[in-house]
């Protein structure tokens, strides 16, 4: 779901002329895909079958940058919860290999949530819902340079 979310919002941003935001979102979509394959590779390395299922459609386009990054934050927070469930399950099952493997994702989610919160803070500073044109231009340029 997360690769689709970032990809879809990236297409939305590019279409409304925010190429820097789009660049960040597209790059992040690729990063999310590597998280997906990391899990698949781990399952395969354990000698288990990894079943690939359909990915749900992304939500509707947001109505602005605030809604875009709020939605991303909520999806990341949900992802953090799902990861916590797997960690809890691994603990209860005494599956220490999986417990250890999952710690990478626990740390990654802290980074991901911080990254989105920092973007939301920058948006607030630039003027919240009504970002003035010039500030929006600078914000977009900065987003283009931000490491996904």
The helix/strand/coil state of 48 is coil
Residue 137: name the closest of 13, 43, 8, 18 by CA. Answer: 18
In angstroms, the CA 49 to CA 63 distance is 41
How many CA atoms lie less than 13 Å away from 83 in the CB half-sphere?
21
112 binds Fe ion (CB under 5 A): yes
**Shortest reach from residue 56's CB to Fe ion, in Å:** 16
Question: If you ran DSSP here, which 8-state letter would residue 85 be given?
Answer: H
Query: Is the separation of the CB atoms in 116 and 76 below 8 Å?
Result: yes
- Which C-beta is closer to Fe ion: that of 62 or that of 135? 62
82 vs 130, beta carbon nearer Fe ion:
82
Q: Which is nearer to Fe ion, 27 or 43 (CB)?
A: 27
Among positions 46-85, residues that touch Fe ion (CB under 5 A) are none
* Minimal distance, residue 111 CB to Fe ion, in Å: 5
The piece of 59-67, 80-88, 108-116, 133-141 that touches Fe ion (CB under 5 A) is 108-116
User: Where do contacts with Fe ion occur on this chain (CB under 5 A)?
Assistant: 112
């Amino acid at each position: 779901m997360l690769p689709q979310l970032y990809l879809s919002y990236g297409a939305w941003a590019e279409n409304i002329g925010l190429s820097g935001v789009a660049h960040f979102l597209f790059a992040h979509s690729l990063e999310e895909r590597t998280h997906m394959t990391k899990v698949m590779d781990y399952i395969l390395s354990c000698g288990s079958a990894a079943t690939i299922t359909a990915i749900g459609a992304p939500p509707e386009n947001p109505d602005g940058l605030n809604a875009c990054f709020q939605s991303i934050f909520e999806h990341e927070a949900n992802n953090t919860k799902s990861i916590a469930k797997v960690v809890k399950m691994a603990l209860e099952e005494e599956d220490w290999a999986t417990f250890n493997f999952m710690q990478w994702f626990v740390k990654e989610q802290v980074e991901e949530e911080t990254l989105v919160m920092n973007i939301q803070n920058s948006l607030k500073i630039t003027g919240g819902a009504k970002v003035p044109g010039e500030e929006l231009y600078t914000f977009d340029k900065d987003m283009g340079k931000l490491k996904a």
